[in-house]
Copies of this chain bind each other. A is one copy, B any other.
Amino acid sequence: MERRKFLTGAAAGVGAAVAAPAVHAQAPTVRWRMTASFPKSLDTCYGSTEEMCRRIGELTEGKFEVKLFGPGEIVPGLQAMDAVSNGTVEAGQAFSSFYFGKDPALIFDAGLAFGLNPRQQAAWMFYGGGLQMVREQYAKHNCVAIPCGNFGTQMGGWFRKEIKSVADLKGLKMRIGGFGGLALAKLGVVPQQIAAGDIYPALERGTIDAAEFVGPYDDEKLGLSKVTKFYYSPGWWEGSAQMTALVNAKAWESLPKAYQVAFETAATEQWVRMLANYDSKNPVALKRLVGAGAQLRWFPRDVMEAAYKATNDLLNEYAQKNADFGKFYASWTKFRDDQSAWYRVADHYLDTYTLGQLARKKG
């Protein structure tokens, strides 16, 4: 108690610094570079990771600085994982779906088509064994994965023409990548890879017929309601788009325990804050988009059915040809089935009732 009493209070000056437990005083100053996957213009997802970095600094009183760089400043956005893996940077902001081509099993980290919703994804990650599996998978790429955000369910994108049935998708050139592109290809869509900045002119000129990006708030920035008429929902291929901070494995191991904890805690804080930020901004943005002429549509039933079937076919194909994918798929499917059985009982039931009442009130 005497020692504690001595350390408490307004002790200051070199003497106190030396007498104090030297844990912090001896802790090294660490400066890391983190490369982003999403552009600075997206104050939502880029901004969230920026906030995470600031928090890490505050938690360590500036001794552990993680500096975020926009895509292209160090490496292009889609090379974040490689840059972390080979040690070009210590950390990267990643969306694991981007690496589906490199390692299909990583897609479970980002949230799968017709899969767990954001809350269920958190349950799987933090208490259902998901994070451990994801970490084992990323370890093969020399990375440590730390969930650091979620986008919520995204929109289905912008279409020049109305989609009345699956037949209308035949030959449709759509800007969409990864798993969603593969599933839509089974429905006749011709997926196109186009950088965000090139979407507007491509739609304007009719080089493409449709494009998906994120959700109302981010989409609004691209101005797509000026060059297309129909705004479709939902982005079934991204019902729970989780963002991940990747850290180079060696860099992570070299970190003092308190800095590791600071990184992880700040990342989990962003898991809820990034989603909350999107949820607060999307409703208002959607109103503005509709006010500006965007016509809101839901994919017709037969498109949803075909998409659901195509998704399950694809998942089964990958589970059979890729052992890692198969291992994930088994764990994830069991967890999802349990989740959905429970979700129907209380949360979704109450949501459905309340949303229905509020819609009636409006109407």
Task: Tell me the A residues contacting B by CB distance below 8 Å.
Answer: 4, 7-14, 16-18, 20-31, 55, 58-63, 114-115, 117-120, 122-128, 152-155, 215-216, 233-236, 239, 257-258, 261-262, 265-266, 268-269, 271-273, 275-277, 279-284, 286-287, 296, 298, 304, 308, 336-355, 357-359, 362
Which of B7, B286, B350 is in CB contact (< 8 Å) with A342?
Answer: B286
The verdict on A26 contacting B17 (CB below 8 Å), with A276-B126, A346-B153 known, is: yes
Whether the Cβ atoms of B122 and A276 lie closer than 8 Å is yes
CB of A6, distance to nearest CB on chain B (Å): 9
Q: What residue of chain B has the Cβ atom nearest to residue A19's Cβ?
A: B25
Residues of B within 8 A of A59 (CB): 59, 258, 261-262, 265
Whether the Cβ atoms of B296 and A128 lie closer than 8 Å is no
Whether the Cβ atoms of B23 and A22 lie closer than 8 Å is no
Closest 6 CB pairs of A and B: A24-B24, A283-B342, A127-B280, A123-B279, A17-B25, A7-B29
CB of A191, distance to nearest CB on chain B (Å): 20
Q: What residue of chain B has the Cβ atom nearest to residue A155's Cβ?
A: B346
Whether the Cβ atoms of A350 and B234 lie closer than 8 Å is yes
Identical copies in the complex: 2
Whether the Cβ atoms of A346 and B55 lie closer than 8 Å is no
Residue with the greatest number of chain B CB neighbours at <10 A, chosen from A21, A271, A287, A351: A351
Q: List 23 A-B contacts (CB under 8 A).
A: A8-B31, A14-B18, A16-B22, A16-B26, A17-B17, A18-B18, A18-B25, A21-B63, A59-B261, A115-B354, A117-B350, A122-B272, A127-B280, A127-B281, A233-B346, A234-B345, A234-B346, A234-B347, A268-B272, A269-B269, A279-B342, A340-B358, A344-B359
CB of A207, distance to nearest CB on chain B (Å): 27
The interface residues of chain A, by DSSP majority, are classed as helix
CB of A329, distance to nearest CB on chain B (Å): 15
Residues of B within 8 A of A296 (CB): 345
Q: What residue of chain B has the Cβ atom nearest to residue A264's Cβ?
A: B269
CB of A243, distance to nearest CB on chain B (Å): 13
Residues of B within 8 A of A273 (CB): 126-127, 268
Known: A18-B18, A268-B268. 10 other contacts (CB 8 A): A14-B18, A14-B22, A59-B59, A117-B350, A119-B276, A123-B279, A265-B266, A308-B353, A340-B354, A348-B355
CB of A237, distance to nearest CB on chain B (Å): 10
Whether the Cβ atoms of A28 and B11 lie closer than 8 Å is yes
Whether the Cβ atoms of A348 and B351 lie closer than 8 Å is yes
Q: What residue of chain B has the Cβ atom nearest to residue A56's Cβ?
A: B265
Q: What residue of chain B has the Cβ atom nearest to residue A339's Cβ?
A: B283
